[in-house]
Structure 1
Amino acid sequence: MTMTVHHLQYSQSFRLIWLMEALGADYDLKIYARDSETNLAPAEYKALSPLGTAPVLVDGDTVVAESNASIDYVLDRHPESPLRPGPGDPTRERYLFWYHSAQGSMMPMLFVNTIFGMVQKNAPFFLRPLLRSVAANVGERLIKPRMTAILKVAEEHLAEHKWLAGEELTAADITMSYAMAGARKAGLVTEAHPGCLRWLKQMEADPAFQRAKAKDDGRDMLFSF
Protein backbone atom coordinates (compact mmCIF):
# COMPACT_ATOMS: atom_id res chain seq x y z
CA MET A 1 0.00 0.00 0.00
CA THR A 2 1.28 3.46 -0.91
CA MET A 3 2.07 5.81 1.96
CA THR A 4 0.49 9.26 1.97
CA VAL A 5 2.31 12.36 3.17
CA HIS A 6 -0.10 14.98 4.50
CA HIS A 7 1.79 18.24 4.17
CA LEU A 8 0.72 21.46 5.87
CA GLN A 9 1.74 24.49 3.81
CA TYR A 10 4.70 26.47 5.22
CA SER A 11 5.63 23.80 7.74
CA GLN A 12 8.39 21.40 8.67
CA SER A 13 6.57 18.60 6.88
CA PHE A 14 8.45 19.69 3.75
CA ARG A 15 11.30 17.60 5.13
CA LEU A 16 9.27 14.42 4.75
CA ILE A 17 8.62 15.23 1.09
CA TRP A 18 12.37 15.71 0.60
CA LEU A 19 13.04 12.36 2.30
CA MET A 20 10.58 10.54 0.06
CA GLU A 21 12.16 12.09 -3.03
CA ALA A 22 15.68 11.23 -1.82
CA LEU A 23 14.59 7.62 -1.32
CA GLY A 24 12.83 7.46 -4.67
CA ALA A 25 9.86 6.15 -2.71
CA ASP A 26 6.39 5.63 -4.08
CA TYR A 27 4.06 7.93 -2.14
CA ASP A 28 1.01 10.14 -2.44
CA LEU A 29 1.12 13.79 -1.42
CA LYS A 30 -1.76 15.83 -0.08
CA ILE A 31 -1.17 19.53 0.58
CA TYR A 32 -3.26 21.57 3.01
CA ALA A 33 -3.43 25.38 3.03
CA ARG A 34 -3.32 27.16 6.37
CA ASP A 35 -6.35 29.09 7.61
CA SER A 36 -6.07 32.60 6.18
CA GLU A 37 -7.03 34.26 9.49
CA THR A 38 -5.44 32.08 12.18
CA ASN A 39 -2.54 30.66 10.11
CA LEU A 40 -3.30 27.31 11.75
CA ALA A 41 -4.04 23.93 10.21
CA PRO A 42 -7.54 23.52 8.77
CA ALA A 43 -10.11 21.30 10.43
CA GLU A 44 -9.57 18.61 7.79
CA TYR A 45 -5.92 18.36 8.78
CA LYS A 46 -6.64 18.41 12.50
CA ALA A 47 -8.88 15.41 12.01
CA LEU A 48 -5.68 13.52 11.17
CA SER A 49 -3.49 15.22 13.77
CA PRO A 50 -5.37 16.54 16.82
CA LEU A 51 -2.54 18.98 17.61
CA GLY A 52 -2.57 20.26 14.06
CA THR A 53 1.13 19.49 13.78
CA ALA A 54 2.90 18.52 10.59
CA PRO A 55 3.76 16.17 9.07
CA VAL A 56 1.24 13.38 9.24
CA LEU A 57 2.11 10.15 7.50
CA VAL A 58 -0.60 7.59 6.73
CA ASP A 59 0.34 4.03 5.85
CA GLY A 60 -2.76 1.87 5.66
CA ASP A 61 -4.26 1.88 9.15
CA THR A 62 -1.12 3.40 10.66
CA VAL A 63 -0.98 7.15 11.28
CA VAL A 64 2.34 8.68 12.33
CA ALA A 65 2.77 12.30 13.43
CA GLU A 66 5.85 14.36 14.39
CA SER A 67 8.75 14.92 12.01
CA ASN A 68 11.45 12.61 13.33
CA ALA A 69 8.98 9.85 14.12
CA SER A 70 7.69 9.99 10.54
CA ILE A 71 11.21 10.01 9.11
CA ASP A 72 12.22 7.02 11.25
CA TYR A 73 9.08 5.16 10.22
CA VAL A 74 9.82 5.68 6.53
CA LEU A 75 13.47 4.70 6.95
CA ASP A 76 12.38 1.53 8.75
CA ARG A 77 10.55 0.69 5.54
CA HIS A 78 13.77 1.28 3.57
CA PRO A 79 16.45 -0.48 5.66
CA GLU A 80 18.84 -0.59 2.72
CA SER A 81 18.98 3.21 2.44
CA PRO A 82 22.29 4.98 3.23
CA LEU A 83 20.26 7.93 4.52
CA ARG A 84 20.43 6.40 8.02
CA PRO A 85 23.90 5.06 8.90
CA GLY A 86 23.59 1.90 10.96
CA PRO A 87 25.46 0.79 14.10
CA GLY A 88 29.14 0.34 13.34
CA ASP A 89 29.16 2.91 10.55
CA PRO A 90 31.89 5.52 11.24
CA THR A 91 29.41 8.35 10.59
CA ARG A 92 26.80 6.97 13.01
CA GLU A 93 27.75 9.18 15.98
CA ARG A 94 27.71 12.39 13.95
CA TYR A 95 24.49 11.31 12.28
CA LEU A 96 22.69 10.77 15.60
CA PHE A 97 23.95 14.07 17.02
CA TRP A 98 22.68 16.18 14.14
CA TYR A 99 19.53 14.15 13.61
CA HIS A 100 18.39 14.95 17.15
CA SER A 101 19.95 18.43 17.45
CA ALA A 102 17.44 19.83 14.98
CA GLN A 103 14.39 19.23 17.16
CA GLY A 104 16.18 18.99 20.51
CA SER A 105 18.35 22.11 20.40
CA MET A 106 17.78 24.42 17.46
CA MET A 107 14.03 24.43 16.87
CA PRO A 108 13.09 25.16 20.52
CA MET A 109 15.32 28.25 20.46
CA LEU A 110 13.89 29.40 17.13
CA PHE A 111 10.37 28.72 18.40
CA VAL A 112 10.91 30.95 21.44
CA ASN A 113 12.19 33.67 19.12
CA THR A 114 9.11 33.33 16.90
CA ILE A 115 6.69 33.38 19.84
CA PHE A 116 8.17 36.61 21.17
CA GLY A 117 7.76 38.17 17.73
CA MET A 118 4.11 37.10 17.52
CA VAL A 119 3.33 38.33 21.04
CA GLN A 120 4.88 41.73 20.35
CA LYS A 121 2.99 42.09 17.09
CA ASN A 122 -0.40 41.38 18.69
CA ALA A 123 0.12 43.14 22.04
CA PRO A 124 -1.36 46.56 22.88
CA PHE A 125 1.00 49.32 21.73
CA PHE A 126 1.80 50.43 25.30
CA LEU A 127 3.15 46.95 26.15
CA ARG A 128 5.35 46.57 23.11
CA PRO A 129 8.41 48.43 24.49
CA LEU A 130 8.38 46.17 27.57
CA LEU A 131 8.01 43.05 25.45
CA ARG A 132 10.83 44.17 23.15
CA SER A 133 13.04 44.61 26.20
CA VAL A 134 12.16 41.14 27.54
CA ALA A 135 12.69 39.55 24.13
CA ALA A 136 16.07 41.25 23.75
CA ASN A 137 17.12 40.07 27.21
CA VAL A 138 16.05 36.47 26.52
CA GLY A 139 17.73 36.61 23.15
CA GLU A 140 21.05 37.78 24.56
CA ARG A 141 21.06 35.53 27.63
CA LEU A 142 19.48 32.34 26.28
CA ILE A 143 18.95 32.09 22.54
CA LYS A 144 22.10 33.71 21.18
CA PRO A 145 24.60 31.81 23.41
CA ARG A 146 23.05 28.40 22.68
CA MET A 147 22.69 29.05 18.97
CA THR A 148 26.25 30.42 18.81
CA ALA A 149 27.52 27.22 20.44
CA ILE A 150 25.71 24.81 18.13
CA LEU A 151 26.56 26.81 15.00
CA LYS A 152 30.22 26.74 16.07
CA VAL A 153 30.03 22.94 16.22
CA ALA A 154 28.33 22.89 12.83
CA GLU A 155 31.11 25.04 11.35
CA GLU A 156 33.73 22.66 12.74
CA HIS A 157 31.94 19.65 11.23
CA LEU A 158 31.36 21.28 7.87
CA ALA A 159 34.98 22.40 7.63
CA GLU A 160 35.90 18.71 7.39
CA HIS A 161 32.85 17.12 5.78
CA LYS A 162 30.58 17.84 2.84
CA TRP A 163 27.42 17.00 4.77
CA LEU A 164 26.72 17.02 8.51
CA ALA A 165 27.35 13.32 9.10
CA GLY A 166 30.03 12.83 6.46
CA GLU A 167 30.47 12.95 2.72
CA GLU A 168 26.97 11.78 1.81
CA LEU A 169 23.52 13.22 2.37
CA THR A 170 21.70 11.62 5.32
CA ALA A 171 18.42 12.11 7.13
CA ALA A 172 20.38 14.27 9.61
CA ASP A 173 20.75 16.89 6.88
CA ILE A 174 17.07 16.58 6.05
CA THR A 175 15.99 17.09 9.66
CA MET A 176 18.38 20.04 10.07
CA SER A 177 17.17 21.79 6.92
CA TYR A 178 14.32 23.72 8.49
CA ALA A 179 16.31 24.63 11.61
CA MET A 180 19.32 25.91 9.68
CA ALA A 181 17.19 27.84 7.20
CA GLY A 182 15.21 29.31 10.10
CA ALA A 183 18.43 30.32 11.85
CA ARG A 184 19.55 32.13 8.72
CA LYS A 185 16.22 33.91 8.37
CA ALA A 186 16.49 34.99 12.03
CA GLY A 187 19.91 36.50 11.36
CA LEU A 188 21.75 33.88 13.42
CA VAL A 189 23.54 32.27 10.47
CA THR A 190 25.64 35.01 8.88
CA GLU A 191 28.73 35.50 6.73
CA ALA A 192 30.66 34.45 9.83
CA HIS A 193 29.35 30.92 9.15
CA PRO A 194 30.71 30.06 5.69
CA GLY A 195 30.32 26.33 6.24
CA CYS A 196 26.65 26.65 7.15
CA LEU A 197 26.00 28.97 4.20
CA ARG A 198 27.74 26.55 1.87
CA TRP A 199 25.66 23.71 3.32
CA LEU A 200 22.42 25.66 2.79
CA LYS A 201 23.23 26.33 -0.87
CA GLN A 202 24.27 22.72 -1.34
CA MET A 203 21.03 21.58 0.29
CA GLU A 204 18.92 23.64 -2.07
CA ALA A 205 20.89 22.35 -5.07
CA ASP A 206 20.23 18.72 -4.15
CA PRO A 207 18.09 17.18 -6.95
CA ALA A 208 15.72 15.49 -4.47
CA PHE A 209 15.26 18.82 -2.64
CA GLN A 210 14.44 20.50 -5.93
CA ARG A 211 11.87 17.82 -6.79
CA ALA A 212 10.28 18.20 -3.36
CA LYS A 213 10.15 21.97 -3.72
CA ALA A 214 8.54 21.66 -7.14
CA LYS A 215 5.85 19.37 -5.73
CA ASP A 216 5.17 21.97 -3.06
CA ASP A 217 5.02 24.62 -5.82
CA GLY A 218 8.02 26.36 -4.26
CA ARG A 219 5.72 27.99 -1.73
CA ASP A 220 7.91 27.74 1.35
CA MET A 221 9.77 31.03 1.37
CA LEU A 222 11.97 29.86 4.26
CA PHE A 223 13.97 27.98 1.64
CA SER A 224 14.47 30.94 -0.72
CA PHE A 225 18.10 31.98 -0.53
Structure 2
Amino acid sequence: MIIVHHLNNSRSQRVLWLLEELGLEYQIKFYERDPNTMLAPASLMEVHPLGKSPVITDGDLTIAESGAIVDYLVTRYGNGKLMPVRESRDYLRYNYWLHYAEGSAMSPLLMKLVFDRIERSPMPFFVKPIARGIAQKVKAVFISPQITRHLDYLEAEIIKTGWFVGEDFSAADIQMSFPLEAAASRGGLNDSRPNLMAWLAKVHARNAYVAALQKGGKYDLLT
Protein backbone atom coordinates (compact mmCIF):
# COMPACT_ATOMS: atom_id res chain seq x y z
CA MET A 1 0.00 0.00 0.00
CA ILE A 2 1.26 3.45 -0.90
CA ILE A 3 1.46 5.76 2.12
CA VAL A 4 1.74 9.51 1.62
CA HIS A 5 3.40 11.27 4.53
CA HIS A 6 1.41 14.45 4.09
CA LEU A 7 2.44 17.78 5.58
CA ASN A 8 -0.19 20.50 5.59
CA ASN A 9 0.27 23.31 3.05
CA SER A 10 3.10 21.54 1.29
CA ARG A 11 4.17 19.96 -1.96
CA SER A 12 2.69 16.65 -0.83
CA GLN A 13 -0.74 17.95 -1.85
CA ARG A 14 0.18 17.45 -5.51
CA VAL A 15 1.21 13.85 -4.73
CA LEU A 16 -2.31 13.20 -3.47
CA TRP A 17 -3.64 14.80 -6.64
CA LEU A 18 -1.46 12.56 -8.83
CA LEU A 19 -2.63 9.45 -6.99
CA GLU A 20 -6.23 10.51 -7.54
CA GLU A 21 -5.58 11.08 -11.25
CA LEU A 22 -4.08 7.59 -11.51
CA GLY A 23 -6.95 6.05 -9.55
CA LEU A 24 -4.62 4.34 -7.09
CA GLU A 25 -5.40 3.27 -3.55
CA TYR A 26 -3.33 4.95 -0.89
CA GLN A 27 -3.27 5.95 2.75
CA ILE A 28 -2.42 9.34 4.23
CA LYS A 29 -0.38 9.91 7.35
CA PHE A 30 -0.88 13.51 8.45
CA TYR A 31 1.77 15.85 9.85
CA GLU A 32 1.26 19.44 11.02
CA ARG A 33 3.70 22.32 10.75
CA ASP A 34 4.91 24.08 13.88
CA PRO A 35 2.64 27.17 14.06
CA ASN A 36 5.56 29.42 15.03
CA THR A 37 8.40 28.21 12.81
CA MET A 38 6.20 26.71 10.04
CA LEU A 39 8.68 23.82 9.91
CA ALA A 40 7.75 20.17 9.63
CA PRO A 41 7.62 18.16 12.88
CA ALA A 42 10.60 16.07 13.93
CA SER A 43 8.49 12.93 13.48
CA LEU A 44 8.99 13.18 9.72
CA MET A 45 12.66 12.38 10.31
CA GLU A 46 11.56 8.91 11.29
CA VAL A 47 10.43 8.45 7.69
CA HIS A 48 13.30 10.23 5.92
CA PRO A 49 16.48 11.70 7.48
CA LEU A 50 15.82 15.19 6.09
CA GLY A 51 12.44 15.33 7.80
CA LYS A 52 10.69 17.02 4.88
CA SER A 53 7.62 16.41 2.77
CA PRO A 54 6.65 14.98 0.36
CA VAL A 55 7.71 11.47 1.16
CA ILE A 56 5.94 8.28 0.18
CA THR A 57 6.47 4.71 1.25
CA ASP A 58 5.51 1.86 -1.04
CA GLY A 59 6.23 -1.48 0.54
CA ASP A 60 9.88 -1.38 1.56
CA LEU A 61 10.63 1.66 -0.63
CA THR A 62 10.87 5.19 0.73
CA ILE A 63 10.90 7.92 -1.91
CA ALA A 64 11.40 11.65 -1.33
CA GLU A 65 11.50 14.70 -3.63
CA SER A 66 8.47 15.69 -5.67
CA GLY A 67 9.96 15.04 -9.09
CA ALA A 68 11.26 11.61 -8.09
CA ILE A 69 7.89 10.67 -6.58
CA VAL A 70 5.98 11.82 -9.67
CA ASP A 71 8.33 9.91 -11.97
CA TYR A 72 8.12 6.77 -9.83
CA LEU A 73 4.33 6.71 -9.58
CA VAL A 74 3.67 7.49 -13.23
CA THR A 75 6.32 5.06 -14.49
CA ARG A 76 5.36 2.18 -12.18
CA TYR A 77 1.60 2.56 -12.00
CA GLY A 78 0.53 4.87 -14.82
CA ASN A 79 0.24 2.30 -17.62
CA GLY A 80 1.04 5.02 -20.13
CA LYS A 81 -1.20 7.67 -18.54
CA LEU A 82 -0.09 11.24 -17.82
CA MET A 83 3.26 11.03 -19.64
CA PRO A 84 4.43 11.03 -23.26
CA VAL A 85 6.17 8.11 -24.91
CA ARG A 86 9.77 8.04 -23.69
CA GLU A 87 11.31 8.15 -27.17
CA SER A 88 9.35 11.26 -28.16
CA ARG A 89 10.36 14.92 -28.16
CA ASP A 90 7.41 15.57 -25.85
CA TYR A 91 9.02 13.30 -23.26
CA LEU A 92 12.09 15.55 -23.20
CA ARG A 93 9.80 18.51 -22.57
CA TYR A 94 7.91 16.56 -19.92
CA ASN A 95 11.14 15.65 -18.12
CA TYR A 96 12.29 19.27 -18.33
CA TRP A 97 9.20 20.54 -16.47
CA LEU A 98 9.57 17.86 -13.79
CA HIS A 99 13.01 19.33 -12.98
CA TYR A 100 12.30 22.98 -13.75
CA ALA A 101 9.46 23.24 -11.22
CA GLU A 102 11.77 22.83 -8.22
CA GLY A 103 15.16 23.50 -9.77
CA SER A 104 14.34 26.93 -11.23
CA ALA A 105 10.79 28.13 -10.60
CA MET A 106 10.69 27.67 -6.83
CA SER A 107 14.06 29.28 -6.04
CA PRO A 108 13.07 32.97 -6.30
CA LEU A 109 9.68 32.25 -4.72
CA LEU A 110 11.36 30.68 -1.69
CA MET A 111 13.77 33.59 -1.46
CA LYS A 112 10.85 36.01 -1.51
CA LEU A 113 9.18 34.08 1.31
CA VAL A 114 12.36 34.25 3.40
CA PHE A 115 12.95 37.97 2.83
CA ASP A 116 9.27 38.79 3.41
CA ARG A 117 9.60 37.10 6.82
CA ILE A 118 12.78 39.02 7.59
CA GLU A 119 10.93 42.22 6.82
CA ARG A 120 8.04 41.33 9.12
CA SER A 121 9.97 39.65 11.94
CA PRO A 122 10.14 41.30 15.36
CA MET A 123 13.59 42.68 16.13
CA PRO A 124 15.24 45.44 18.20
CA PHE A 125 14.09 48.87 17.03
CA PHE A 126 17.61 50.00 16.12
CA VAL A 127 18.13 46.98 13.83
CA LYS A 128 14.69 47.01 12.20
CA PRO A 129 15.25 49.77 9.59
CA ILE A 130 18.57 48.24 8.50
CA ALA A 131 17.20 44.69 8.17
CA ARG A 132 14.07 45.83 6.40
CA GLY A 133 16.07 48.07 4.09
CA ILE A 134 18.32 45.18 3.10
CA ALA A 135 15.35 42.85 2.58
CA GLN A 136 13.53 45.38 0.42
CA LYS A 137 16.66 46.06 -1.64
CA VAL A 138 17.32 42.38 -2.32
CA LYS A 139 13.71 41.84 -3.34
CA ALA A 140 13.62 44.87 -5.61
CA VAL A 141 16.99 44.31 -7.29
CA PHE A 142 17.11 40.52 -7.59
CA ILE A 143 14.12 38.49 -6.41
CA SER A 144 11.21 40.35 -8.01
CA PRO A 145 12.89 40.64 -11.43
CA GLN A 146 13.65 36.91 -11.34
CA ILE A 147 10.04 36.04 -10.52
CA THR A 148 8.84 38.33 -13.30
CA ARG A 149 11.20 36.68 -15.79
CA HIS A 150 9.96 33.20 -14.90
CA LEU A 151 6.30 34.19 -15.03
CA ASP A 152 6.77 35.87 -18.41
CA TYR A 153 8.50 32.74 -19.69
CA LEU A 154 5.74 30.45 -18.39
CA GLU A 155 2.99 32.66 -19.79
CA ALA A 156 4.59 32.39 -23.22
CA GLU A 157 5.00 28.62 -22.90
CA ILE A 158 1.50 27.78 -21.69
CA ILE A 159 -0.15 29.75 -24.48
CA LYS A 160 1.10 27.22 -27.06
CA THR A 161 -1.35 24.43 -26.17
CA GLY A 162 -2.86 25.32 -22.80
CA TRP A 163 -0.83 22.54 -21.10
CA PHE A 164 2.83 22.20 -20.35
CA VAL A 165 3.37 19.17 -22.60
CA GLY A 166 1.61 18.66 -25.89
CA GLU A 167 -2.13 18.94 -26.30
CA ASP A 168 -3.12 17.07 -23.16
CA PHE A 169 -2.92 17.30 -19.38
CA SER A 170 0.05 15.38 -17.95
CA ALA A 171 1.95 14.82 -14.73
CA ALA A 172 4.11 17.80 -15.74
CA ASP A 173 1.08 19.99 -15.06
CA ILE A 174 0.77 18.42 -11.62
CA GLN A 175 4.45 19.07 -10.88
CA MET A 176 4.14 22.70 -12.05
CA SER A 177 1.08 23.35 -9.88
CA PHE A 178 2.94 24.12 -6.67
CA PRO A 179 5.21 26.91 -7.97
CA LEU A 180 2.33 28.50 -9.84
CA GLU A 181 0.00 28.31 -6.85
CA ALA A 182 2.79 29.81 -4.74
CA ALA A 183 3.23 32.56 -7.33
CA ALA A 184 -0.50 33.30 -7.29
CA SER A 185 -0.48 33.36 -3.48
CA ARG A 186 2.62 35.47 -2.87
CA GLY A 187 4.60 35.98 -6.08
CA GLY A 188 2.53 38.41 -8.12
CA LEU A 189 0.78 36.03 -10.50
CA ASN A 190 -2.57 37.60 -11.36
CA ASP A 191 -4.89 38.43 -14.25
CA SER A 192 -2.10 40.32 -16.02
CA ARG A 193 -1.03 36.84 -17.19
CA PRO A 194 -4.37 35.43 -18.35
CA ASN A 195 -3.05 32.20 -19.83
CA LEU A 196 -1.44 31.04 -16.58
CA MET A 197 -4.55 32.04 -14.65
CA ALA A 198 -6.69 30.08 -17.12
CA TRP A 199 -4.42 27.08 -16.64
CA LEU A 200 -4.78 27.33 -12.85
CA ALA A 201 -8.56 27.49 -13.21
CA LYS A 202 -8.54 24.35 -15.38
CA VAL A 203 -6.43 22.29 -13.00
CA HIS A 204 -8.41 23.43 -9.96
CA ALA A 205 -11.59 22.25 -11.66
CA ARG A 206 -10.36 18.71 -12.24
CA ASN A 207 -12.25 16.08 -10.24
CA ALA A 208 -9.06 14.46 -9.02
CA TYR A 209 -7.72 17.81 -7.78
CA VAL A 210 -10.92 18.45 -5.83
CA ALA A 211 -10.88 14.92 -4.38
CA ALA A 212 -7.25 15.33 -3.28
CA LEU A 213 -8.10 18.59 -1.51
CA GLN A 214 -10.96 16.94 0.32
CA LYS A 215 -8.69 14.15 1.53
CA GLY A 216 -5.63 16.28 2.21
CA GLY A 217 -7.35 19.01 4.17
CA LYS A 218 -6.92 22.76 4.32
CA TYR A 219 -4.51 24.14 1.70
CA ASP A 220 -3.64 27.76 2.36
CA LEU A 221 -1.73 28.26 -0.91
CA LEU A 222 -5.13 28.69 -2.54
CA THR A 223 -5.95 31.75 -0.42
Q: TM-score, normalised by structure 2?
A: 0.91
Q: Secondary structure at the match of 1:51?
A: coil
SS at match of 1:164: coil
Give per-residue Cα distances to partners, 1:91-148, cap 9 Å, x unaligned.
Answer: 2233223222210111111111111122233341432322222222222322222222
SS in 2 for 1:126: coil
Name the stretch that deviates more: 23-32 or 122-131: 122-131
CA distance in structure 1 between the aligned counterparts of 2:186 and 2:36, rounded to whole angstroms: 24
Counterpart residue number, 1:104 = 103
Unaligned runs of 5+ in 1: none
Identical pairs, percent = 36
Q: Which residue of 2 aligns with 1:189?
A: 189
1:220 maps to a residue whose letter is Y
Query: 1:170 aligned to 2:170?
Result: yes
Higher alpha-carbon deviation: 25-34 or 141-150: 141-150
Aligned to 1:129: 129
Kindly tell me: are residues 148 and 93 of structure 1, through their superposed partners in 2, closer, same or farther at Cα, counting changes over 3 Å?
A: farther
Q: CA RMSD in A?
A: 1.8
Is the 1:7–1:31 Cα contact (8 Å) retained in structure 2?
Answer: yes
Instruction: Give the secondary structure class of the aligned counterpart of 1:100.
Output: helix
Q: Distance in 2 between matches of 1:79 and 1:222?
A: 27
Q: CA deviation at 1:153?
A: 2.0
Shift of 1:206: 1.0
C-alpha deviation, 1:214, in angstroms: 0.6
Cα separation, 2, equivalents of 1:71 and 1:187: 24
Q: How does 1:5-84 map to 2 (within 5 A)?
A: 5-84=4-83
Q: Distance in 2 between matches of 1:158 and 1:190?
A: 15
Q: Cα deviation per residue 1:34-59 (whole Å; 9 max; x = unaligned)?
A: 23343322232221122221011111
Q: Which residue of 2 aligns with 1:205?
A: 205
Cα offset, 1:79, TM superposition: 4.9
Partner of 2:117: 118
Could you tell me which runs of 5 or more consecutive residues in structure 2 were left unpaired when the two chains were aligned. Answer: none
Paired letter, 2:114: I
The alpha carbon displacement at 1:181 in A equals: 0.9
Alpha-carbon distance, 1:188 to partner: 2.1
Q: Are the equivalent residues in 2 in contact too, given 1:8–1:31 (CA < 8 A)?
A: yes
SS of alignment partner, residue 91 of structure 1: helix
The number of equivalent residue pairs is 222
Could you tell me how far apart the structure 2 residues matched to 1:94 and 1:102 are? 12
Q: 1:81 to 1:67 in 2, by over 3 A?
A: same
Q: What is the TM-score with the length of structure 1 in the denominator?
A: 0.90
After TM superposition, the structure 1 stretch with the greater mean CA deviation from structure 2, 71-80 or 203-212, is 71-80
Please give the secondary structure, in 2, of the residue aligned with 1:57. strand
Which aligned runs of 4 or more in structure 1 are off by greater than 3 angstroms?
Answer: none
